[in-house]
A and B are shown apart, each in its own frame.
Chain A
């Protein structure tokens, strides 16, 4: 008995038949949108070369992803926007004076070596943009630590004549360094940017790390859209604040400038946009808290006692590698699990 308007072959699949609205590409787009204020802040502070560098990174990252899929005869994955996001994050982690060709090398490393060699989206064990940043820092240390003075208008075509400065964290490290001469300490201390400069972005540094305000606007958007939870960034930032307050002062314990540490360097962009990367961080709630605290401890140790003035990217990369182990030991207690006696479905 046939019925009108019923397909000859009805689709039979397992339940559930309904699907949520979130997709991989909608999530990636949300993160890209959340980074727009940060990019705009970078353009205001460092000029249009920031935009040009960002475009170079994004286009090259997408091109490498496309080419990889083409060569391996796999369906193109550029539509999920994850390669574009990697390019954007990489650019925001570079100094504005970075030569374009070096940035392209960074994209190549991020997409091909870190991501595709391990199986593409979902399979990389390190954050591609951060791993690429570490790769560039090792390869071209000079170029990666040349910081343009804010509002000095670096030329889009040549960065050779850029006016350079130190980042606030370098200055802070000098100001509390016991081995520096008294005059050097006094000079560094006097030159430290104000909290307001740190908050708005009137400082030297990578394109995406200078304006705390812009990063927080993006972070609020991601939290409101429930793309990220506060667990990792919250514990990360709190840990850094506590540890730098306790151990970071030059006049003994509990005299450190926690606010300065939180606002400067890559901590905010790292905590909200890198340490929240799904693929390379634990997905268990407890694991996320351990991950955030771990990042905070490592960052504080590197900043206060290490050779580098900045430790955010290495901290996150190290914790990325630990994620599978953290997940293994943070399996949540299931509903109905009994504390004593024998339980389990038998």
Chain B
């Protein structure tokens, strides 16, 4: 096995961080099952970071599976494709994961899965980097780890910036989620292919895959497939199991030893990071010609009868996905889209799976019982756990005092909102909540200062 551990004192990692129970046992042995689409598929126009997409179909149109239904609305935006064939019945506001109604394309699924004729395998080996990026852009691929940053932008570094490291993120440090783990076990050839495509774009010969050591089978599998590659070298980096190891900046630190400077992007230190499922999605665009139509979703939590991993078509109703796991066996008091550390609690389960929905977690009232907030003990666990080496409790005090200068000095804008501080707090305080408020206040203060 070609394993690479950077740190001579042990496994590659970063300073700080926390060790939550990973809760992955419920689903890490569950193979990914293809899920049928809902009768009614819903496509909110905002599915990626940046500006919303613009519909390119009209009510009453018949669309085919894989057909583009909305165009990117700007540079930082991505196309949206229909994952079924059927009739566009409406373009209207629908409830979304963010808790607000958003303009969405509604498609009545005819169940025929009639493929769009543009879906044909493409050979990336004959293409120029520019052409490859264009194919990825056309396929609407975005970061599937949760941030939904349009992938074609990551693949087009700004003028003068040289990419030296391409790192595939297999850390999957969020508790409960096992979709990346299963993808590495079940479709390693797609992941390797995707990485090779990215290496071609940047003209590199070496690529990296970072995996936490709590997934030894995935490390072994990826190393086995990496070994087969002759033209390029693919190094599997074993990472310490620690949250938030999958954070882009911290994965870069662990693999390359480089620190992304405050306020800068990974590309500023010559790195590009993409999630496992994103990498496989890039490969599928070329291997089968399919745009981004599906994603892997882990369904788990104490309310779920059969925790599972599903390959879900984007646009499918969350309730249908839950029903496929046998539904909730006890009343769910909280339902989360994503992981328990950074996921979003939803107010309504009648929403669609979108490109960024990595998991569905259902928790009973007992599991999410809120305890009484006590005084801060000044124990310093929040500071010790902070992967950005900030002082969350001091930031909280600065927010309460509305001390903008101090907020800026203590680095409120550097917070990656991983939630480690709130997780470890023994007094049930919520430093991250204050920090979010602080960020908003500081941005507002800066805008006002500019006027």
Check: B73 CB closer than 8 A to any chain A CB.
no
Count of A-B residue pairs with CB < 8 Å: 193
Tell me the nearest residue of chain B to A339, going by C-beta.
Answer: B261
In chain A, positions 98-129 with a C-beta closer than 8 Å to chain B are 119-123
Of B63-71, B308-316, B344-352, which stretch is located at the interface? B344-352
A15 touches B426 (CB 8 A): no
Q: Which of A305-343 contact B (CB under 8 A)?
A: 327, 331-338, 343
Determine if A20 and B383 form an interchain contact, defined as CB atoms under 8 angstroms apart. no
What is the 8 Å Cβ interface bit string for chain B, positions 10-49, against chain A (1 contact, 0 not)? 0000111010100000000000000000000000000000
B442 to chain A, nearest CB (A): 9
**Which chain A residues border B262 with CB–CB below 8 Å?**
334-338, 343-345
Q: Taking CB as reference atom, which chain A residue is nearest B418?
A: A16
Nearest-CB residue, chain A, relative to B341 = A16
Among the listed stretches A3-11, A137-145, A187-195, which one makes contact with chain B, having 4 or more residues with CB under 8 Å of it? Answer: A3-11
Q: Which residues of B contact A284 (CB under 8 A)?
A: 380, 383, 391
- Looking at B50-58, B119-127, B158-166, B406-414, the stretch in contact with chain A turns out to be B406-414
Name the contact of B383 in the complex, choosing from A7, A80, A283, A337 (C-beta under 8 A).
Answer: A283
Instruction: Say yes or no: B375 contacts A7, CB within 8 Å.
Output: no
The reply to whether the CB of A73 lies closer than 8 angstroms to some CB of chain B is no
**B residues in contact with A18, CB < 8 Å:** 20, 175, 340-341, 423
A10-B348, A11-B345 as given contacts; A24 in contact with B391, CB under 8 Å: no
Check if B303 sits within 8 Å of A15, measured CB to CB: no
The answer to the question of A22 belonging to the interface, with a C-beta cut-off of 8 Å to chain B, is: yes
User: Of the candidates B18, B322, B350, which one forms a contact with A20 in the assembled complex, judged by CB atoms under 8 Å apart?
Assistant: B18
Q: Give the residues in chain A near B389, CB-CB below 8 Å.
A: 332-335
Q: B426–A23 contact, CB under 8 A?
A: yes
Interface window among B85-93, B132-140, B323-331: B323-331
Could you say which interface size class chain B belongs to?
Answer: 35 or more
Q: Contact: B349 with A3, CB < 8 Å? A: yes
In the complex, B400 has a CB within 8 A of chain A: no
Q: Is B260 at the interface (CB under 8 A from chain A)?
A: yes
With contacts A20-B424, A27-B426, A122-B377 taken as known, whether A335 is within 8 angstroms of B332 at the C-beta atoms is no
Q: A345-B262, A345-B413 are in contact. Are A10 and B335 (CB under 8 A)?
A: yes
Please measure, in the bound complex, the distance between the C-alpha atom of A57 and the C-alpha atom of B256, giving whole angstroms.
Answer: 56
Residues from 123 to 170 in A contacting B, C-beta threshold 8 Å: 123
A26 within 8 A of B: yes
Contact mask B352-388 → A, CB, 8 Å, 1/0? Answer: 0000000001010100101110111111110110011
Beta-carbon contact of B426 and A7 below 8 Å: no
Q: Which of A1, A11, A27, A346 contacts B263 (CB 8 A)?
A: A346
* Cross-chain contact B375 with A121 (CB below 8 angstroms): yes
B59, CB-defined interface residue at 8 Å: no
Give bound CA distance, A336 to B411, whole Å: 10
Q: Are A7 and B259 in contact (CB under 8 A)?
A: no
Inter-subunit contact A335/B426 (CB<8 Å)? no
B94 within 8 A of A: no
Given the known inter-chain contacts A4-B327, A279-B378, A283-B393, please indicate yes or no for A15 contacting B18, CB distance below 8 A. Answer: no
**Assuming the A-B contacts A20-B20, A335-B387, are A6 and B259 also in contact, with contact meaning beta carbons closer than 8 angstroms in the complex?**
no
Which of A15, A27, A120, A123 has a CB less than 8 Å from the CB of B342?
A: A15
**What residues of B have a CB within 8 angstroms of the CB of A343 in the complex?**
261-263
Q: Which of B175, B347, B365 contacts A12 (CB 8 A)?
A: B347
CA of A1 to CA of B322, assembled, Å? 14
Contact mask B255-279 → A, CB, 8 Å, 1/0?
A: 0000111111000000000000000
* Nearest Cβ on chain A to B366's Cβ, whole angstroms: 12
With an 8 Å Cβ cutoff, the count of chain A residues facing the other chain is 48
Would you call A14 an interface residue if the criterion is a C-beta within 8 Å of the partner chain's C-beta atoms? yes
Known A331-B410, A337-B262: A14·B426 in contact at CB below 8 Å = no
Q: Is B289 part of the contact surface with A, judged by Cβ < 8 Å?
A: no
CB atoms of A122 and B375 under 8 A apart:
yes
Note all chain B residues with C-beta closer than 8 A to A75: 372
In the complex the two chains form, is B319's CB within 8 Å of A3's CB?
Answer: yes
Q: Closest CB-CB distance, B40 to chain A, in whole Å?
A: 10
Return the chain B residue nearest A330 by Cβ. Answer: B391
Closest B residue, CB atoms, query A82: B377
Give the interface segment out of B74-82, B233-241, B429-437: B429-437
**Interface assignment of A13: CB less than 8 Å from any CB of chain B:** yes
Is B427 interfacial (CB 8 A cutoff)?
Answer: yes
B428 near A: Cβ within 8 Å?
A: yes
Q: A14-B432, A344-B263 are in contact. Are A4 and B328 (CB under 8 A)?
A: yes
A134 to B290, CA, bound (A): 76
Please indicate which of the listed interface residues A13, A121, A285, A345 has the most CB atoms of chain B within 10 Å of its own CB: A345
Contact of A10 among B332, B340, B423 (CB under 8 A): B332
User: With the chains together, A7 CA to B413 CA distance in Å?
Assistant: 36
How many Å from the CB of A322 to the closest CB on chain B?
A: 15
Chain A's nearest CB lies how many Å from the CB of B98? 11
Partner of A17, one of B253, B330, B368: B368
Across the interface, which residues of B come within 8 angstroms of A346, CB to CB? 263
Bound CA–CA A225/B253 (angstroms): 28
Segment 392-451 of B: residues with Cβ below 8 Å from A = 393-394, 408, 410-411, 413-414, 417, 419-420, 422-428, 430, 432-433, 436
Residues of A bordering B, CB below 8 Å: 1, 3-7, 10-20, 22-24, 26-27, 75, 77, 80, 119-123, 278-279, 283-285, 327, 331-338, 343-346
25 contacts between A and B (CB under 8 A): A1-B319, A3-B319, A3-B323, A5-B303, A5-B329, A5-B332, A10-B332, A11-B334, A14-B436, A15-B344, A15-B417, A17-B334, A18-B175, A19-B371, A19-B428, A24-B377, A77-B374, A334-B414, A335-B259, A335-B387, A335-B414, A336-B260, A336-B263, A337-B262, A337-B411
Known: A123-B375, A283-B393. 4 other contacts (CB 8 A): A1-B350, A278-B377, A334-B388, A336-B259
